[in-house]
Amino acid sequence: MHLCIYNTGGSELAPEGTGYRARTRFAKFFNLPELMNMFKEIADIKTADQLNLPTPEVECHNIVSEPTEFQQAMVKELSKRAEKVHGGIDPHIDNMLRITSDGRKLGLDQRIINPMLPDEPETKVNKCVENILKIWKEGDSERLTQLVFCDIATPSGKPAGGSEDAPFTNIYDDIRKKLINGGMAPEQVAFIHSAKTDIQKKELFAKVHSGQVRVLIGSTQKMGAGTNVQDRLIALHDLDCPWRPRDVGRILRTFKIKKKVEVTDNGKDDF
């Protein structure tokens, strides 16, 4: 049996974010019904509709942050770097993978590129902190919990202190510091990265289940599959978009406390 693939042409946003380029993409598959019938001979497939498990209602929010003047200027620099790459610059000096990586960092927070830049009040991080504090206060009586996903600028170890004067080092410590300054107790904010062993993870998850830890921050890799902390979970915040669709919607699990949850996507910049 042949599984045929046809190509089609189209335009897409260039990685540097300043224009469009022509690209060829897969358009159509053939013989998929035959392939699925062969697969079903060895697999028992049950969809969510067939299982009918009690999952929560979801209210989704897309938060759009306007770019700062520094971000706009830096995007133009990324475009100039991309032009040099397309012109044949030595990939050891610069390449599109490095430019794309810098663009993702810049889209999250300009201080990741340059820690000396100002902390603008309307950035993704600050809007996310504002939402977390609002939901934290509303769910205080039931000790409702929240997850924050961020794959960029992760911490190297245990969380730093909550001092207002502490310099910017990474997004995780920055969020924790601001949550503590907003009234949250230090022990209510935890990083998945601080749990190094299975025993430590089990202890951390138990604290989230009980509501001792109200906000758990982690990356898709460390806080993805196998992270079952949904009993009191009321909100999930995505600071950047994961690569795989399966990594979206970790809050859509059966749990005990609430029937309506919130998913906030802060992974947008209106460049």
- Find the range with the poorest average confidence among 6-20, 37-51, 249-263: 249-263
Is residue 217 within 8 A of residue 195, CB to CB? The reply is no
Report pLDDT digits (tens) over 224-256. Answer: 777 888 888 888 898 887 777 667 666 665 444
C-alpha span between 250 and 236 (Å, rounded): 8
Q: What is the pLDDT of residues 11-32, one digit of tens each?
A: 776 666 667 777 776 667 778 8
Residue 153's pLDDT is 84
Residue 76: pLDDT over 50 = yes
Domain coordinates of the chain in residue numbers? 5-45, 56-66+122-265, 69-113
CATH architecture of 56-66+122-265: 3-Layer(aba) Sandwich (3.40)
Assign 162 a pLDDT band (cuts: 50, 70, 90).
very low
- Give the pLDDT confidence score for residue 159 in this predicted structure: 45
Amino acid occupying residue 219? S
Q: What 3-state class would DSSP assign to 42?
A: coil
Contacts by 13-20, CB closer than 8 A, 24 or more apart: 14/82, 15/82, 15/96, 15/99, 15/100, 15/103, 16/75, 16/78, 16/79, 16/81, 16/82, 16/99, 16/103, 17/75, 17/78, 17/79, 17/103, 17/271, 18/75, 18/76, 18/78, 18/79, 19/79
Give yes or no for residue 257 having a pLDDT over 90: no
- Percent pLDDT > 70 in the chain is 78
Q: Which residues pair with 146 in a beta bridge?
A: 215, 235
* Average confidence (pLDDT) over 204-232: 89
Residue 259 pLDDT exceeds 70: no
pLDDT tens sequence across 89-136: 898 999 999 998 899 899 899 999 999 999 999 899 999 999 999 999
pLDDT tens for each residue of 181-206 = 999 999 999 999 999 898 999 999 99
